[in-house]
């Protein structure tokens, strides 16, 4: 298929209709620089026990390995910044997990977009992803002109900060490509580096995933958390938003308009004592459609006990 700017405009309009806030398009190409950085990052064991980061290396840096004949990588951003906040004395939960699991919400939107694209443009090959495949989403977002990668490793938009989910559509459709986002607006600011209690944010935009609070509270499945980390979690029970909360660009964040991301009342209102008293049956019922399922009941209990033993 030939490059068609009308197709690009149609896809960007479609993205807005399906609830995405930003849409950018990049040429599907081998990510040479990212491949080198990722290889070094893994060699340094920055991924901790996240063994899945070692798998499918070639797929992470080459979109044509995921979608044969891929020509375009479409990146979509969806705001998750909430209007509500938790009780100040409650165990902290990352904002992305306030409502229903974003995987389900965004996957439905991606599938609907693909169906509409095929109906209006023709039979194309394409796949949509949201944390479900070895795709370097932030690199593609930067290449698509949506923002820059900050010192905290997050994609930052100049207009409205970094509280966004990133989704990706890889397709064999030739499209008009956006210019990459070249400038880095972090400048000399080091607030995220200074604020991280576990020193997970390293110089040169390198993140030590094995020291990140989100890694310990979500990814690490060990029965016990490391003693050396006691007192460093700042009461975070699931995930961590510190590096985003202190980022000056997030003063521009606006509450999301997605009904599916409406906070689950218990996320906002349960006190520490109520979390401690929560039964497994209640947890499964209340958080049936929540990202908190990822840590499972035992993981949440482990995290709670660790926070309380650190006081």
Which of 32, 33, 58, 131 does the annotation list as catalytic?
A: 131
The Cα 262–Cα 118 span in angstroms is: 31
CA nearest neighbour of 175 among 26, 13, 66: 26
Runs of H (alpha helix) within 122-171:
137-143
Q: Please, is 302 exposed, middle or buried when counting C-beta atoms within 10 Å of its C-beta (0-12, 13-18, 19+)?
A: buried
| CB crowding 72-106: b at 16 or more within 10 Å, else e | bbbbbbbbbbbeeebeeebbbbbbbbbbbbbeebb
CA atoms within 13 A on the CB side of 108: 7
The 3-state DSSP class for residue 56 equals coil
Residues in the chain: 311
| Cα–Cα distance measured from residue 151 to residue 144, given in angstroms and rounded to the nearest whole number | 19
Residues 189, 284 contacting (CB under 8 angstroms): no
Bridge partners, 22 (sequence order): 77
CA distances from 161 to 96, 207, 254 (A): 14, 19, 9
131 is catalytic: yes
Which element (helix H / strand E) includes 22?
Answer: strand 22-27
Q: How far is CA 30 from CA 77, 121, 135, 167, in A?
A: 22, 26, 12, 19
Question: In degrees rounded to 5, what are phi and psi of residue 310?
Answer: -90, -15
| Positions marked active-site | 131
């Amino acid at each position: 298929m030939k490059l068609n700017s009308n197709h690009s405009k149609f896809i960007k309009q479609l993205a807005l209709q399906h609830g995405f806030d930003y849409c950018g398009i990049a040429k599907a190409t081998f990510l040479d620089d990212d491949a080198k950085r990722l290889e070094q990052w893994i060699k340094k064991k920055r991924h901790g026990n996240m063994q899945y980061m070692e798998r499918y290396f070639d797929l992470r840096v080459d979109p044509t390995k995921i979608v044969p004949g891929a020509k375009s990588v479409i990146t979509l951003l969806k705001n998750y910044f909430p209007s509500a906040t938790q009780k100040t004395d409650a165990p902290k939960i990352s904002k992305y997990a306030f409502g229903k699991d974003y995987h389900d919400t965004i996957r439905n939107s991606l599938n609907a977009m693909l169906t509409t694209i095929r109906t209006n443009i023709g039979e194309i090959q394409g796949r949509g992803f949201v944390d479900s495949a070895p795709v370097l989403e932030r690199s593609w977002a930067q290449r698509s002109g949506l923002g820059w990668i900050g010192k905290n490793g997050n994609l930052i938009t100049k207009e409205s900060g970094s509280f966004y989910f990133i989704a990706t559509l890889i397709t064999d459709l030739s499209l008009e490509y956006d210019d990459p986002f070249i400038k880095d607006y972090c400048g000399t600011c080091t607030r995220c580096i200074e604020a991280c209690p576990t020193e997970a944010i390293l110089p040169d935009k390198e993140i030590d995933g094995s020291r990140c609070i989100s890694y310990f509270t979500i990814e690490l499945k060990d029965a016990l958390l490391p003693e050396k980390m006691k007192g460093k979690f700042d009461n975070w029970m699931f995930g961590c938003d510190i590096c985003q909360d202190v980022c000056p660009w997030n003063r521009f964040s606006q509450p999301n308009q997605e009904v599916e991301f409406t906070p689950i009342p218990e996320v906002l209102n349960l006190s520490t004592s109520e979390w401690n008293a929560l039964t497994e049956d209640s947890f499964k019922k209340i958080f049936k459609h929540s990202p908190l399922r990822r840590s499972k009941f035992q993981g949440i209990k482990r995290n709670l006990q660790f926070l309380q033993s650190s006081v």
